[in-house]
Structure formats: C-alpha cells, structure tokens
C-alpha cells in the first residue's frame, strides 16, 4: 500500500480474494500470491477459487516466483506462472526463523526509496531479478512424507466435523470405525480426482493437427484458463497461432465461424473459428484422437518470447479431455438441422 495508507480491513482473515483485489487497487496498492504453487490447500493455485476462475490470477500485480522455504518444484511452477501471465516475479525468504532471513532476494532495476515508487515499478512491469537459497530445515522437510498424512488428517477431521454438525442424528455412526473409514475413503477418492485433474491441466503436450493430407505438429498447453466454446453447439474451442492455421488452410477461409470471447484484460472480442477434422494429442505417453474439433485462430503469439515457452503454439481447452474421459459421444458439430442449409430445407427451415 502507498505510504501512510493503513486499513484495518486488510488485517482480517477470510476476505474473498476478488473483494481483496478490488479493495487494494481502489486504494492505490498492489498485491500478489505468496508461494502460489506450494502446499496443497494453503496456496492459491490449489484453492477452489482458482479451479473455478483461473483467470483471476491476471488481476494480481505480481507473483512470488521464489520462496526460500518452498521446494524447487514449487518455485519452478511459480516461475512458469510469471511467464505465462507476464507478471513481475518477486523473491521472498518467508522467514519464520532467524536462519531464513536474507536467503531470498529481489533485484530491482532502479533505486527505490518509498512504497509509492515500488508500486509504480511493479505496475510498469520493469524487469526484476529473483533468486536465493532453499532453506531445507523446515518442519515439512524434517517430517518428510508424514507431512502429507497430517494435511489429509486435518482435512478428514474437518469433513467429519462438518457432517456431524450437519447431520447430528448420525453422530454415533459417523464417529464409529465404519464411519471414519467411509469418510476417509470418500475423501481419498475426491482428492485423487483433483490431483489427476491438476496434473493434466496446465501441462504441455504434443499436438498434431490434421486436415486432409496436411499436418502440423506443435507443442500445446492444456490451459485451465481456456474456457472458449462454440456459441451454437457449446463445444470446447482450442486456440492456435495463425502460422499453424495457414499450414493447414492456406489462404482459404472456408468454414469460418465467429468465436466470441471475453477476458479480464480485454472485456470482449472475436476470434475466427474453424472445424478441424482431426486432432491428436500425446498426453502422459498416450495418444488420444479427437474428431471434428473447433479451433480459433490467434493473430498474436500465444506464449512470451522465452526459451521454454517459445515452442507453445496451441492452447487446449481442458473440457476436450474431460468429455473424452467421460466417454461422451462427440456431436456432429457441422450438422445443420434447423437452418436454410439443411438437406430438409423446406421441412425444417425456420
């Protein structure tokens, strides 16, 4: 917050993140998630809010890209977030003990003398360097895998307490051996499903786009932030860069349709969409084939110009994989039944 601005509201816990972002920005401040890819249920990307509205991360001003008390994998995923959403990365020691102080650093490109200057620097998205040394003596590191047992036990205890308060008549059954084992099994299934979904989303896979005798193989990002749908069929839409599209369609625009979209950075817009005859994805070593998939063409580069993200030319809508996993039969998305192009024009045209 700017110097001299102190708000008691910011000391409250449990404030909805959307309301917090609005409040901080309204009073001239900046904010970002700490260790966003850290411990389950304690980090932003592992929250219910992020699962439902992943694009809310675009409203943050920065992301903590290095945390000295988090493992390398957590920091690596946090750095990917800064690249994906083009946000400044910040380093933090997360010093709960004296030994942790100064283990992480944030290197600013210019001298900062007050909070307002720092806020201005972050908003300009000036190049910032982060790094440091991992502190390997946290309680989580010392107890190892037992830490997961403590987290799951905490969650199961909360779930049981909720059920007991909601259904007081079943208190004896829920606190018995069968009740505890049953609640634990249900919780385990629920958490395993979330873990599988998280592993699948926001991961890079190999995609092969096929149209007739033409093919284009690219790296694709399965992005939970992509919720595009074709307006008439409601089918999921994936996004490709224009140069990939031209390899398959050339200068033709046959079969073009409008795909409307809206985002936080730009409220509304339109992308040109096409029906791709066949799409093959190599996910977790398995090849999956999809027929008649909608794609939208982006005239802008999908990824930032970095060594890791440069090869990503396509963004996959995760609904495509979810519907395939549920065994849904694909719709005949190009079939027209109630318009003037139907074969039964005289009978069905409206």
Question: How is the chain split into domains, by residue range?
Answer: 8-132, 145-200, 203-325
CA distance 278 to 294: 10
The tens digit of pLDDT for each residue in 280-310 reads: 988 766 788 999 999 999 888 776 444 344 4
Torsion of CA 303, 306, 309, 312, to 10 degrees: 60
- Could you please state the CATH topology (level 3) that the domain comprising 203-325 is classified under: Cathepsin D, subunit A; domain 1 (2.40.70)
The least confident of 145-149, 205-209, 332-336 is 332-336
46 pLDDT more than 50: yes
User: Exposure string (b/e) for 218-231, b if CB count within 10 Å is 16 or more?
Assistant: bbbbbbbbbbbbbe
Please report the sign of the dihedral spanned by the C-alpha atoms of residue 97, residue 140, residue 35, residue 15.
negative
Per-residue pLDDT averaged across 336-346, rounded? Answer: 36
At 198, the pLDDT band (50, 70, 90 cuts) reads low
Whole-model pTM above 0.85? no
Q: Which two tokens stand for residue 312?
A: 């990503």
Condensed to tens digits (0 to 9), the pLDDT of residues 148-162 reads 677 677 777 777 787
Helices 146-166/177-200 angle, 10° precision:
120
> Which residue bears the tokens 């008439």?
232
Q: DSSP letters of 161-227?
A: HHHHHH-GGGHHHHTSHHHHHHHHHHHHHHHHHHHHHHHHTTEEEEEEEEETTEEEEEEEEE-TT--
Q: What is the pLDDT of residue 336?
A: 39
- CATH superfamily, region 8-132: Metal-dependent hydrolases (3.20.20.140)
DSSP character for 56?
Answer: G
Nearest one of 136, 85, 71, 82 to 106, comparing CA atoms: 82
The highest-confidence range among 51-55, 88-92, 182-186, 222-226, by mean pLDDT, is: 88-92
User: Backbone phi, then psi, for 90, in 5-degree steps?
Assistant: -120, 145
Question: Any idea of the CA torsion for 133, 134, 137, 143, to the nearest 10 degrees?
Answer: -170
Among the listed ranges 114-128, 168-182, 240-254, 311-325, which one has the minimum average pLDDT value?
A: 168-182
The whole-number average pLDDT for the span 242-267 is 80
pLDDT at residue 91 in the model: 92
> Average pLDDT for residues 52-80, to the nearest whole number?
86
- Contact between 33 and 54 under an 8 Å Cβ cutoff? The reply is no
Q: Are 68 and 29 in contact (CB under 8 A)?
A: no
For the cut 80, the answer to whether the pLDDT of residue 10 exceeds it is no
């Amino acid at each position: 917050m700017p110097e001299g601005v102190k708000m008691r509201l910011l000391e409250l816990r449990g404030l909805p993140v959307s309301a917090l972002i609005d409040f901080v920005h309204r009073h001239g401040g900046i904010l970002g998630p700490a260790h966003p890819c850290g411990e389950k249920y304690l980090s932003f990307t592992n929250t219910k809010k992020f699962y439902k509205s992943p694009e809310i991360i675009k409203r943050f001003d920065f992301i903590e890209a290095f945390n000295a008390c988090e493992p390398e994998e957590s920091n690596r995923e946090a750095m990917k977030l800064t690249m994906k959403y083009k946000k400044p990365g910040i380093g933090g020691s997360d010093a709960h003990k004296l030994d942790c102080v100064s283990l992480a650093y944030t290197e600013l490109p210019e001298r900062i003398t007050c909070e307002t200057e720092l806020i201005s620097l972050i908003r300009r998205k000036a190049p910032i360097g982060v790094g440091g040394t991992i502190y390997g003596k946290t309680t989580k590191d010392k107890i190892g895998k037992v830490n997961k047992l403590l987290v799951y036990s905490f969650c199961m205890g909360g779930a049981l307490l909720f059920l007991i308060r909601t259904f007081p008549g079943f208190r004896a059954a829920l606190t018995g051996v069968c009740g505890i084992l049953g609640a634990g099994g249900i919780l385990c299934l629920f958490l395993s499903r979330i873990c599988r979904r998280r592993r699948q989303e926001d991961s890079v896979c190999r995609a092969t786009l096929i149209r007739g005798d033409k093919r284009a193989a690219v790296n694709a990002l399965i992005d939970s932030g992509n919720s595009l749908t074709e307006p008439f069929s409601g089918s999921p839409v994936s996004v490709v860069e224009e140069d990939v599209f031209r390899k398959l369609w050339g200068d033709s625009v046959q079969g073009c349709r409008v795909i409307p979209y809206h985002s936080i950075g730009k409220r509304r817009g339109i992308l040109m969409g096409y029906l791709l005859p066949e799409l093959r994805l190599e996910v977790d070593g398995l090849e999956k084939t999809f027929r008649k998939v909608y794609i939208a063409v982006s005239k802008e580069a999908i990824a930032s110009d970095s060594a890791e993200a440069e090869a990503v030319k396509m963004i996959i809508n995760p609904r495509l994989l979810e519907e395939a996993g549920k065994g849904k039969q694909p719709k005949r998305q190009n079939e027209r039944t109630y318009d003037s192009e139907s074969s039964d024009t005289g009978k069905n045209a409206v």
